[in-house]
Amino acid sequence: MSLDLLRRYWSIGAMALWLAAFGAEAVRLARWTTDFWRVAGRLETAAAALRQNARDVVELANRNKSQSLEVEFLNALPNVLPQERGYLRTQRVIGEETEVLRRKVGGRLKGALHILVDSKANKLYLKKGMKLLWQADCSVGRGGTLVSAATGRRWEFVTPRGEFRVVWKDANPVWTKPDWAFVEQKQPVPPPDDPGRKVPGELGAYVLSLGDGYLIHGTKDEKSLGRPVSHGCVRLGAADLQKVFETVPIGTKVYIY
């Protein structure tokens, strides 16, 4: 074999080896690129989750701040309202502190007609700004829970605290008996449209809705007023309920503390 032919074979062999090495390196680079983008994708997903968590934390912080301000406002109410000499909590507050709180609450209420419900004393107050118009004994939620043995559903009989509005009101209301009423009486729960759910006269002559099923309504047992005996609604005697219904327009704020 001639020297030129050997050189040609050697060159071809070297080229083949170089191409094989290059191909192997290219395959490894392609795998590395695929792994890189896969990791980058996971990092981007994790980063998106972190950004969402950060937004959730900010939103939660803002909500907590808002609720803290609302609680601070509601906690101030028992110390300054209503204005009457026999109200012990007012008497325990130093005069200067009382005036500061009155100005703060008065600036918040701005002379508007509103309802206050003291859930500890079971008292309802109707006020215009800082002026007490009248007061009445009421009944709020008794507390406790009811559990359905058949379905496991739970109901908590408490009156919620916070700021509400009168969203609608009506005369001669008909009570639509909820599921818990049948469970409490150990009766089968009928379909939602069952006529047996309609109970006239149970809510008294008038009703004012605070939303989410919570009402201000009457009671057949006025002797229980002043005690927490309701299932979450605010109960009033017939005369006081009529006065609230005739005085308070839709949209009136209701503060329950």
Query: CB–CB of 167/210 below 8 Å?
Result: yes
> Do residues 128 and 134 make contact, with C-beta atoms less than 8 angstroms apart?
no
- Looking at residue 200, its pLDDT comes to 95
Contact 254, 164 (CB under 8 A): yes
Q: Is position 138 annotated as part of the catalytic site?
A: no
Q: What is the pLDDT of residues 140-193, one digit of tens each?
A: 999 999 999 999 999 999 999 999 999 999 999 999 999 999 999 999 999 999
Catalytic: 233? yes
Candidate list 114, 138, 217, 231, residue with the active-site label: 217
Name the average pLDDT for the chain: 82
Tell me the residue ranges of DSSP E strands in the chain: 113-118, 123-128, 131-139, 145-147, 154-156, 162-165, 168-171, 174-176, 198-200, 206-211, 214-217, 234-236, 253-256
**Whether the predicted pLDDT of 11 surpasses 90:** no
**Amino acid found at 131:** K
Active-site option among 114, 138, 231, 233: 233
Percentage with pLDDT > 70 across the chain: 65
Per-domain boundaries in the chain: 111-256
Q: Please report where in the chains the tokens 């709020």 appear, as a residue.
A: 140
pTM: 0.61
pLDDT, tens only, 198-240: 999 999 999 999 999 999 999 999 999 999 999 999 999 999 9
CATH match of 111-256 with 2.40.440.10 = yes
